[in-house]
């Protein structure tokens, strides 16, 4: 049972919703979301995870094209 299952809150500044995903804090910061604290993991609620996916969509596609054989 992880921290998300236990009911940890979203790590984005100003948000107090329950988290549904756990990601690397560095990746979340690079996507432009303001993560509070100096933890290694960032916990995101449904809305902020959706924003994270939208902002990293192009990067994921470029990586996919790069490694396609």
Domain count, the chain: 1
Q: Provide the Cα torsion 28, 33, 36, 42; round to 10°.
A: -30
Residue 13 · residue 33 · CB < 8 Å: no
Give the integer Cα–Cα distance in Å for 52 and 31.
Answer: 6
Give the integer Cα–Cα distance in Å for 20 and 43.
Answer: 7
Residue 18 · residue 45 · CB < 8 Å: yes
Domain range enclosing 26:
3-67
Percentage of the chain modeled with pLDDT above 70? 99
Per-residue pLDDT tens digits for 41-54: 999 999 999 999 99
pLDDT of residue 35 exceeding 90 = yes
pLDDT band at 12 (very low <50, low <70, confident <90, very high): very high
């Amino acid at each position: 049972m992880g921290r998300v299952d236990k009911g940890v809150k979203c790590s984005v500044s100003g948000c107090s919703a329950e988290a549904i995903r756990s990601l690397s804090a560095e990746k979340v910061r690079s996507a432009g979301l303001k993560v509070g604290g100096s933890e290694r993991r960032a916990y995101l609620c449904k809305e902020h995870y959706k924003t994270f996916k939208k902002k990293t969509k192009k990067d994921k596609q470029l990586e996919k094209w790069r490694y396609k054989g």
